[in-house]
């Protein structure tokens, strides 16, 4: 990626200083960078000391056999005890762990740490009763109900790695994950609520279990909607029969620091999902520390809300393990974003820290600020973003409209593989720049390099790499060490290749530019999808944009854009396409002017809200559309193809 492609993003001049009171009281101050630089392992050992250990480690990091890391070698701990029991033991049993908000109005539950401890202990006893032993894998396919958190922590307690599969995925997707990690027990529910109606889950489990032969011995079923379900006596067990009557005493075993905690399959934005393995001590250290650091969590007073589905890594690291290990009070919501419902929840629960994805922010931008303006969100003090680059315009809207122009925005870059946030502003230290994820956190070493692994230096673009091991790093791909080495460590000796393009600006701050695979080559110029998308979103009529490079006889590749207009723009007017092409030329340069712009009602996204550009590329190059199994809504592609054929 050459630097001339980046004129637009680097022209972003807006800066937002941390609020003075936040800066004064910040959990992590500027000195942390130096402290971590002078002794990285000591820095992470301090972070690990925030947890309760059975036996303390002998060695912080064993990197003698790269890329296979071992953290806190010789130490033992139990993730479930750290997330629950220790808060009760410290006298905080009556504190609310989860304010759960169901999708149907007025369906709410507040769960204290003491109640959570009882539920987790009962579920651990019930799973033991069903034959689950340390090391066995358990698949979880559930809606956003408290039992999913209980199920995960019960598995962690037993040392039985869980694999959580999005409740929106098909039976096929579930079956392939069950098979890949050889799970003999599945935990699910009869159904869940989506857009005001009960939708079934159990039939997909029945179908998936059927496809996996006689692998699955038991299916544990929570009754959520009360809808009719088919029942296999002997195999199927109701949660309320197995768990409610079980003992709430459960002696937790301390597991080895490197004992597997879970397998999580990546979003599948670029291809077939990979089974990422996370282990216990390093993962819990990395997630709990960064949750406290990046969100400046004050567990006594904050009300935290991460809107991610639990079927995504963000739901694991920053809804379950990080916040609960920190003893936070948080909101958990069963539904998806709809008009004012989120803001009503912020108002009702006086949420102080809010963490969501750019896709949601752009959806709210599309609908207009009148909706959020109708709620009292003065409790908010910090906003976070994750999942995709946040366009500068979306950042500023988020800050102003949701954050009342007073809340810092932390744009957090990380991956399923990294387990923990890696690149982000520190809210009490960093002056934010809209669109930049800023710097590697203390104790993390990131760089941007060229094809020969040389640092590109300030003002240049290249490949984002990580140079030193970190506690929550993936340990391997489940059952496939070779693919683990090939995928992440083979491009350059000793460097972790993240697959993302990035640029360092003149201050050395990092701008994420999208997937390396998505970079376009137009007449010999390398253009980033992110940059052109951000230029489009900076036009007042545009809410969202996706850009792909399509084969072109004259230029090699041509820029093709798909845009969603803001509701206030109506159909955009007759000349909208020409208007937007000119806008991109003005913002970036004539070279970036899209050959084609299609106004569409929706974009193809994964369940975690990421745009799947490879499918749009299929459309732009007139090909049969590829694998759509990880799409949130597969009918979106039909809508786009219809538009395309009516335009042609
Ligand atoms: P797959 O690897 O299966 O294609 P995926 O990469 O979408 O799926 P995740 O691990 O959920 O799966 O997503 C991580 C990716 O999301 C990062 O590599 C990056 O491309 C993008 N990302 C996440 N946070 C940010 C951010 N703050 N800024 C820019 N990009 C981000
Ligand atoms: Mg990825």
What ligand 1 atom has the least distance to the C-alpha of 515? Answer: 20
For 141-154, give one letter per residue: b (16+ CB within 10 A) or e: bbbbbbbbbbbbbb
Ligand that lies nearest to the alpha carbon of residue 312, given by its number in the listed order: 1
Ligand 2 centre to CA of 266 (Å) is 6
Contacts of 333 (CB under 8 A, 6+ apart): 100, 101, 103, 144, 305, 307, 342, 345
pLDDT digits (tens, 9 = 90+) for 185-206: 999 999 999 888 999 999 999 9
Regarding the beta carbon of 610 and ligand 1, being less than 6 Å apart is answered: yes
Selected residue with higher pLDDT from 547 and 518: 547
Ligand that lies nearest to the alpha carbon of residue 500, given by its number in the listed order: 1
CA separation for the pair 319, 312 (Å, rounded): 10
Ligand 1 centre to CA of 387 (Å) is 5
pLDDT at 631 over 60: yes
Helix (H, G, I), strand (E, B) or coil at 62: strand
What ligand 1 atom has the least distance to the C-alpha of 412? Answer: 27
Ligand 1 centre to CA of 415 (Å) is 5
Confidence of residue 521 (pLDDT cuts 50, 70, 90): confident
pLDDT at 6 over 60: no
Regarding the beta carbon of 473 and ligand 1, being less than 6 Å apart is answered: no
What ligand 1 atom has the least distance to the C-alpha of 270? Answer: 4
Q: What is the mean pLDDT of residues 394-398?
A: 97
CA separation for the pair 126, 149 (Å, rounded): 15
Ligand 1 centre to CA of 414 (Å) is 7
pLDDT at 105 over 50: yes
Ligand that lies nearest to the alpha carbon of residue 417, given by its number in the listed order: 1
Q: Which of 208-217, 490-499, 513-522 has the lowest mean pLDDT?
A: 513-522
pLDDT at 1 over 50: no
pLDDT digits (tens, 9 = 90+) for 596-620: 999 999 999 987 889 999 999 999 9
pLDDT digits (tens, 9 = 90+) for 587-597: 888 999 999 99
Whole-number pLDDT of residue 477: 97
Whole-number pLDDT of residue 622: 86
Q: CA-CA distances (angstroms) from residue 545 to 49, 515, 523, 612?
A: 44, 16, 23, 12
Whole-number pLDDT of residue 439: 97
Whole-number pLDDT of residue 103: 94
User: Do the beta carbons of residue 606 and residue 168 sit within 8 Å?
Assistant: no
Whole-number pLDDT of residue 10: 55
| Mean pLDDT of all residues belonging to the chain | 94
Ligand 2 centre to CA of 267 (Å) is 7
Q: What is the mean pLDDT of residues 118-141?
A: 98
Regarding the beta carbon of 528 and ligand 1, being less than 6 Å apart is answered: no
Q: What is the mean pLDDT of residues 511-533?
A: 89
Whole-number pLDDT of residue 647: 61
Helix (H, G, I), strand (E, B) or coil at 496: strand
Ligand 1 centre to CA of 262 (Å) is 19
Q: What is the mean pLDDT of residues 483-509?
A: 95
Q: Which of 193-202, 266-275, 320-329, 353-362 has the lowest mean pLDDT?
A: 266-275
Ligand 1 centre to CA of 97 (Å) is 28
User: Do the beta carbons of residue 159 and residue 135 sit within 8 Å?
Assistant: yes
Nearest of 437, 406, 436, 435 to residue 421 by alpha carbon = 437
Q: Which of 310, 413, 436, 607 to mutate to test the pocket of ligand 1 (most atoms within 8 A of CB)?
A: 413
pLDDT digits (tens, 9 = 90+) for 414-449: 999 999 999 999 999 999 999 999 999 999 999 999
Nearest of 400, 385, 390 to residue 354 by alpha carbon = 385
Helix (H, G, I), strand (E, B) or coil at 38: helix
Q: Which residue's structure tokens are 């909607």?
A: 225
Whole-number pLDDT of residue 641: 81
Ligand 2 centre to CA of 500 (Å) is 8
Regarding the beta carbon of 389 and ligand 1, being less than 6 Å apart is answered: yes
pLDDT at 2 over 60: no
Q: Which residue's alpha carbon is at the smallest distance from atom 31 of ligand 1?
A: 388
Regarding the beta carbon of 359 and ligand 1, being less than 6 Å apart is answered: no
Whole-number pLDDT of residue 8: 55
Regarding the beta carbon of 179 and ligand 1, being less than 6 Å apart is answered: no
Q: Which of 271, 385, 416, 465 to mutate to test the pocket of ligand 1 (most atoms within 8 A of CB)?
A: 416
Regarding the beta carbon of 411 and ligand 1, being less than 6 Å apart is answered: yes
CA separation for the pair 625, 614 (Å, rounded): 9
pLDDT at 382 over 60: yes
Q: Say if pTM beats, i.e. exceeds, 0.90.
A: yes
Q: Which of 62-66, 135-139, 633-637 has the lowest mean pLDDT?
A: 633-637
What ligand 1 atom has the least distance to the C-alpha of 390? Answer: 28
CA separation for the pair 518, 521 (Å, rounded): 10
Q: How many residues does the chain have?
A: 648
Confidence of residue 639 (pLDDT cuts 50, 70, 90): confident
Regarding the beta carbon of 314 and ligand 1, being less than 6 Å apart is answered: no
Regarding the beta carbon of 388 and ligand 1, being less than 6 Å apart is answered: yes
Ligand that lies nearest to the alpha carbon of residue 359, given by its number in the listed order: 1
**Cβ burial, residue 369 (10 Å; 0-12/13-18/19+):** middle
pLDDT at 518 over 90: no
CA separation for the pair 427, 484 (Å, rounded): 34
Enter the tokens of residue 400.
């102003």
What ligand 1 atom has the least distance to the C-alpha of 424? Answer: 27
Selected residue with higher pLDDT from 431 and 339: 431
Regarding the beta carbon of 125 and ligand 1, being less than 6 Å apart is answered: no
Can you tell me the ipTM of this complex? 0.99
**Cβ burial, residue 46 (10 Å; 0-12/13-18/19+):** middle
Ligand that lies nearest to the alpha carbon of residue 612, given by its number in the listed order: 1
Whole-number pLDDT of residue 136: 98
Ligand that lies nearest to the alpha carbon of residue 276, given by its number in the listed order: 1
pLDDT at 4 over 90: no
pLDDT at 78 over 70: yes
CA separation for the pair 403, 389 (Å, rounded): 19
Ligand 2 centre to CA of 172 (Å) is 21
Region for residue 345 given its phi and psi (left: phi exceeds 0; alpha: psi -120 to 50; beta: otherwise)? alpha
Enter the tokens of residue 231.
């029942």
Q: Which residue's alpha carbon is at the smallest distance from atom 15 of ligand 1?
A: 415
What ligand 1 atom has the least distance to the C-alpha of 514? Answer: 20
Q: Which of 164, 180, 267 to mutate to test the pocket of ligand 1 (most atoms within 8 A of CB)?
A: 267
Regarding the beta carbon of 309 and ligand 1, being less than 6 Å apart is answered: no
pLDDT at 257 over 90: yes
CA separation for the pair 455, 273 (Å, rounded): 30
Ligand that lies nearest to the alpha carbon of residue 418, given by its number in the listed order: 1
Q: CA-CA distances (angstroms) from residue 82 to 126, 155, 173, 203, 322?
A: 21, 14, 32, 35, 10
Regarding the beta carbon of 384 and ligand 1, being less than 6 Å apart is answered: no
pLDDT digits (tens, 9 = 90+) for 31-61: 999 999 999 999 999 999 999 999 999 999 9
Nearest of 317, 438, 295 to residue 380 by alpha carbon = 295
User: Do the beta carbons of residue 150 and residue 105 sit within 8 Å?
Assistant: no
Q: Are strands 303-306 and 353-356 parallel, antiparallel or unpaired?
A: parallel
Selected residue with higher pLDDT from 648 and 258: 258
Whole-number pLDDT of residue 143: 96
User: Do the beta carbons of residue 548 and residue 600 sit within 8 Å?
Assistant: no
Whole-number pLDDT of residue 195: 84
> What's the 3-state SS for 227-267?
CCCCCCCCCEEEHHHHCCCCCCCCCCCCEECCCEEEEEECC
């Amino acid at each position: 990626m050459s630097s001339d492609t980046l004129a637009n993003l680097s022209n972003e001049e807006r800066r937002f200083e941390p609020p003075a009171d936040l800066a004064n009281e910040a959990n992590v101050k500027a000195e942390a960078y130096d402290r971590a630089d002078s002794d990285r392992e000591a820095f992470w050992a301090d972070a690990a000391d925030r947890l309760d250990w059975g036996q303390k480690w002998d060695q912080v990091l064993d990197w003698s056999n790269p890329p296979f890391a071992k953290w806190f070698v010789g130490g033992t701990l139990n993730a479930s005890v750290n997330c629950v029991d220790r808060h009760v033991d410290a006298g905080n049993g009556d504190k609310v762990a989860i304010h759960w908000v169901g999708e149907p109005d007025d369906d709410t539950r507040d769960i204290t740490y003491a109640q959570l401890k009882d539920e987790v202990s009962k579920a651990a006893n019930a799973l033991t009763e069903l034959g689950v032993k340390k090391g066995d894998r358990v698949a979880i396919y559930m809606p956003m109900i408290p039992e999913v958190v209980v199920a995960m922590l019960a598995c962690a307690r037993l040392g039985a790695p869980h694999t959580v599969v999005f409740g929106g995925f098909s039976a096929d997707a579930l079956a392939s994950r069950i098979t890949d990690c050889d799970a003999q027990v599945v935990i699910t529910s009869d159904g869940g609520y989506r857009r005001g109606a009960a939708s079934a889950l159990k039939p997909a489990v029945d179908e998936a279990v059927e496809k996996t032969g006689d692998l699955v011995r038991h299916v544990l079923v929570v009754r959520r909607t009360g809808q009719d379900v088919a029942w296999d006596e002997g195999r199927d067990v109701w949660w309320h029969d197995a768990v409610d009557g079980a003992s709430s005493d459960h002696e937790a075993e301390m597991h080895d620091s490197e004992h597997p905690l879970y397998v999580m399959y990546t979003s599948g934005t670029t291809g077939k999902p990979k089974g990422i393995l996370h282990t216990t001590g390093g993962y819990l250290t990395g997630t709990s520390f960064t949750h406290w650091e990046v969100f400046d969590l004050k567990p006594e007073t904050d009300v935290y809300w991460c809107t991610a589905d639990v079927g995504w890594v963000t739901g694991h690291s920053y809804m379950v393990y990080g916040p609960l290990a920190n003893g936070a009070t948080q909101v958990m919501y069963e539904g998806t974003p709809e008009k004012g419902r989120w803001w009503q929840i912020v108002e009702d629960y006086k949420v102080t820290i809010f963490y969501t994805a750019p896709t949601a922010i752009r959806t709210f931008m599309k609908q207009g600020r009148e909706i959020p303006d109708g709620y009292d969100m003065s409790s908010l003090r910090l906003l976070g973003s994750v999942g995709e680059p946040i366009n500068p315009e979306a950042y500023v809207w988020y800050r102003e409209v949701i954050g009342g122009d007073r809340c810092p925005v932390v744009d957090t870059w990380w991956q399923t593989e990294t387990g923990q946030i890696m690149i982000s502003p520190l809210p009490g230290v960093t002056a934010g720049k809209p669109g930049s994820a800023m710097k590697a956190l203390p104790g993390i070493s990131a760089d941007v390099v060229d094809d020969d692994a040389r640092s590109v230096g300030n003002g240049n673009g290249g490949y984002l790499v990580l140079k030193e091991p970190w506690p929550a790093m993936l340990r391997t791909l489940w059952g496939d060490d070779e693919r683990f080495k090939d995928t992440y460590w083979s491009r350059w000796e000793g460097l972790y290749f993240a697959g993302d393009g990035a640029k360092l600006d003149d201050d050395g701050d990092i701008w994420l530019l999208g997937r390396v695979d998505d970079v376009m080559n137009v007449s010999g110029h390398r253009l980033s999808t992110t940059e052109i998308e951000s230029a489009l979103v900076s036009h007042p009529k545009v809410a969202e944009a996706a850009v792909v490079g399509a084969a072109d006889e004259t230029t090699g590749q041509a820029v093709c854009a798909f845009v969603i207009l803001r509701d206030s723009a109506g159909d955009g007017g007759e000349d909208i396409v020409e208007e937007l092409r000119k806008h991109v030329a003005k913002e970036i340069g004539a070279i970036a002017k899209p050959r084609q712009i299609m106004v569409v009602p929706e974009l193809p996204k994964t369940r975690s809200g990421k745009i799947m550009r490879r499918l749009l590329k299929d459309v732009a190059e007139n090909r049969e559309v590829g694998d759509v199994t990880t799409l949130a809504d597969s009918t979106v592609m039909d809508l786009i193809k219809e538009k395309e054929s009516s335009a042609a």
